[in-house]
Structures are given as structure tokens and as C-alpha cells.
Amino acid sequence: MIDQKPLRGVRVLDLTRVLAGPFCTMNLADLGAEVIKIEMPGSGDDSRSFAPMMPSGDSAYFYSVNRGKRSVTLDLRFEEGAAIFIELAAKSDIVVENFSPGTMDRFKLGYSQLKAANPKIILCSISGFGQTGPMTSAPAYDIVAQALGGTMSITGNPGGAPVRCGVSVGDLGAALYGVIAIMSALRVRDRDGVGNHLDIAMLDCQVAMLEDALARYSVSGKIPERLGTRHPSITPFQQFRAADDYFVMGAGNEAIWLRFCDVIAMPQLKDDPRFLTNFDRTAHHAELETLLARIFATRPREHWLRLLADASVPCAPISNVEEVTRDPHLAARNMILHADHPDFHGLIVPGSPLKSVGVGDADIPSTRAAGLGESTDEVLASVLGYDSNRLSELRRRSII
């Protein structure tokens, strides 16, 4: 079978830590890149100490975003440590970092130094606010990006407090835009023979993901508000409570709406002037929600899900995390995996959503995260040709 991994043969030096950067480089590893994670001797990525901890003492948090990478310890604060990194960069394709802007320059590892060693190098810098602008040096976390980028203002129940999204979309959005930028830069390098310094800001990515909220404000002049699970432009499209539990459904076009009216035994809704079109239904959403809530409360969730699914009306239960891990469809698509850990076999990790049709289990990524520094000697020997005496001396001086 032909290897479908597009980044096979690409070497990535990963200087990132915690979430946005590591999630970016993990996806590069899933795409076939050789990812060498550079960590501080003795401590490593901050998230190695984040809960939850496995019985082995390893962080499950760290494992969840660092699979498929090698770990090399290298103290960049030493001049010789920075020089070793430059040597590695000269034989690599991509460097990814998520330090505060200016840190790479203080290490004398900025884009100009990397480019001097390797004119085709691609440096991807992921930060809270970017490499330029008045807020470039401000500290940022996921919640800061969600707050400033508008996401929190439209998340939550009507009239309620703003709510942070349940997953770290500030970090994860920046990570995935980083992957897109890197893949694009590789295409330019292959075409034109030049590298690039990519500037990915968490705040920029949150604004890019506002999609129709900006459009609605531009057209109406009204500031978008929190709507709970309701869609601002499609009705019905939200959660409802059945007699026993919650579920979601949506009628995104008129054909689905007509089928929906029949399946809930309310064909008269099709001719109700308040609900004739999606625009009408959205304008009268409160009246429709009240009516549907009374209907759905009469029968259990499974009853409604079965009827709606049989009529090809999009619907689903609201699965909790345990239910996600037991989903047979996700299992069939290799999205529920158990991490390859030498001492603990109970850690569940997601597979890669980046798949090719027809390759079967070939799209299952490596699920092992390297121990701190376990690849140091191997990488420095195989990539840079260091012998045991040089490695011992570097280790004695705490550079590696």
C-alpha cells in the first residue's frame, strides 16, 4: 500500500508546551512528520505535571497532546545549547514555538538566525496576540482569547452569564490554524524554494471563527447575544427535553421541516402562517419552542430519536464523555484508541480525524508519548553525529 502520510520525511523541531503548540505538532506527527520535542532538562513541558496523573506517575493531559513525538532535552539558555539547536534546525524543515514574542530572539534563535543556518526553514510562532501590535507582550490563556475574541459573549443561556466553551477553542483553534499555515508554507517552499516566519495569534483565530456573528452585527447593527443552544438563523435547531432526557434536532431546510411536522403528528404546523418559512419560524422562535417543548415532554427521548431518524431529520442524544468512548461508529473509524503506555493501558485517547479513504487501519496514529529526554542520545547521534564522549560531556554540564 502506498504511504498516504503527506509529511513523511519532514522533520519538525517542537519547542512548544502545554496545549496550543503541542496540539499543532501532534497533528503534524499524525500526518507523518518526524516531530522532535525539545524540552528543558529535568522538568520538561509544564504539562508533564498536570493532572490527571496515571498510576505510573505520568500526566494523562501530557499524553493526550504529545503522542507520536520524540523527546530531546536541551537547555537553550546555554550558548552551546542554542548552538546545538541551530545545528538541528539546519537539518530540519519546521520549527514550532509558543514562547512569548521576543523569547526566541533572546535565545539568539530568532528567524534571522534560523534562516542563516537553513534558508528554507519554516518557523511557526503561536502566541496569544501575535508578533506585532500593541498587545504583543501581554500574557494570554485560552479563556483570555475566548473573552477578547467575542466567543464568550455569545456562549451561554439568554440573559445568563457569559460561558467559556467546554473545550479550549482558543488554544485548539490556534493550533489548527497553525497546521494550515505550516502546510501552506511547505507548499510555497516546494514551489519557490523559500522558508517563512508564520505568525499565529490565538486572538486572531477566535475572531476568524466568529463567522455569522460578525455578519449579523454588520447587517442588523444589533450586537449578537447569548442564545443557549438555539441557532440565530435556523429554527428549530437546538436542544429539547423529552420526558426523560435531552436531545438535539435541527430542520435546516424546508423539506426537513415538512417531514418533521409529519413525524411529530403536527401536520397543521406546515400551514401555520407563523411557521411557513425558516425566516418566519426564526421570527416566532419562542412560540414554536414552547409548542415543541410540550410535545417532546410527552414521550421518552429514544421514542423521538427513533421517529426523527427514520424520517431523516438530523437529531442526536447529548452524549456524555463515557458515552462517546462507547460509540460504535467512532470505534469503527478508529477514533477511540487506548494509549500505548508501558505501564498503564487504560488511557483513552482520540484517534486522528485526518483520514484517507481506503487505507483502513493505516490511518491509526502513534499513541505513545515519549518520556522526558528518552530520545536525546539517539537524535543527537543520528542527526548530528555526536559520539558518546560528547553526549556525556553535555550531560555533565546539564546542557542536555
Do the bridges between strand 196-201 and strand 122-127 make them parallel or antiparallel, or are there none, so unpaired?
Answer: parallel
Q: What b-and-e string marks burial along 123-142, b requiring 16 or more CB atoms within 10 Å of the CB?
A: bbbbbbbbbeeeebeeebeb
For residue 202, the domain's CATH number is 3.40.50.10540
Residue 62 and residue 17 in one domain: yes
Which grid cell sits at 221?
447593527
The reported pLDDT for the residue numbered 3 is 63
Structure confidence by residue, pLDDT tens digits, 190-228: 999 999 999 999 999 999 999 899 999 999 999 999 999
Q: How confident is the model at residue 362 (pLDDT cuts 50, 70, 90)?
A: confident
Q: Of the candidates 267, 282, 317, which is a domain's last residue?
A: 317
How far is the C-alpha of 227 from the C-alpha of 160, rounded, in Å?
10
Residue 158 and residue 269 in one domain: no
Q: Look at residue 6 and tell me if it is in a domain.
A: no
How far is the C-alpha of 5 from the C-alpha of 222, rounded, in Å?
46
For residue 255, the domain's CATH number is 3.30.1540.10
Structure confidence by residue, pLDDT tens digits, 47-78: 999 999 999 899 999 999 999 999 999 999 99
DSSP string, 94-121: EEEE-SPTTHHHHTT-SHHHHHHH-TT-
pTM recorded for the entire structure: 0.94
Of 231, 285, 303, 345, which one is the catalytic site residue?
Answer: 231
Q: Can you tell me the mean pLDDT for 338-364?
A: 88
Residue 42 and residue 164 in one domain: yes
Residue 199 and residue 50 in one domain: yes
Residue 373 and residue 307 in one domain: no
Structure confidence by residue, pLDDT tens digits, 248-304: 999 999 999 999 999 999 999 999 999 999 999 999 999 999 999 999 999 999 999
Q: Of the candidates 291, 317, 343, which is a domain's last residue?
A: 317
The reported pLDDT for the residue numbered 360 is 75
Whether 292 and 240 have beta carbons less than 8 Å apart is answered as yes
Mean pLDDT of the chain: 96
The reported pLDDT for the residue numbered 356 is 86
Q: Residue 304 belongs to what domain range?
A: 237-317
The reported pLDDT for the residue numbered 257 is 98
Q: Look at residue 5 and tell me if it is in a domain.
A: no
Residue 92 and residue 200 in one domain: yes
Is residue 32's pLDDT more than 60? yes
Q: Can you tell me the mean pLDDT for 142-171?
A: 97
Q: Return the DSSP state at 140.
A: -
Q: What b-and-e string marks burial along 301-313, b requiring 16 or more CB atoms within 10 Å of the CB?
A: beebbebbeeeeb
Q: Can you tell me the mean pLDDT for 33-52?
A: 96
Is residue 321's pLDDT more than 90? yes
How far is the C-alpha of 125 from the C-alpha of 174, rounded, in Å?
10
The reported pLDDT for the residue numbered 218 is 96
The angle subtended at Cα 112 by Cα 189 and Cα 183, nearest 5°, is 25
Residue 33 and residue 77 in one domain: yes
**Which residue carries 471563527 as its cell?**
209
Residue 200 and residue 141 in one domain: yes
Q: Look at residue 216 and tell me if it is in a domain.
A: no
Is residue 1's pLDDT more than 60? no
Q: Look at residue 342 and tell me if it is in a domain.
A: yes
Residue 345 designated active-site: no
Q: Look at residue 256 and tell me if it is in a domain.
A: yes
The angle subtended at Cα 182 by Cα 100 and Cα 188, nearest 5°, is 130
For the chain, the domain total comes to 2
Residue 51 and residue 114 in one domain: yes
Query: Helices (H) and strands (E) in the chain — how many of each?
Result: 17, 11
Q: Can you tell me the mean pLDDT for 236-248?
A: 98
Q: Look at residue 222 and tell me if it is in a domain.
A: no
DSSP string, 19-39: THHHHHHHHHHHTT-EEEEEE
Q: Of the candidates 290, 317, 344, which is a domain's last residue?
A: 317
**Which residue carries 539517539 as its cell?**
378
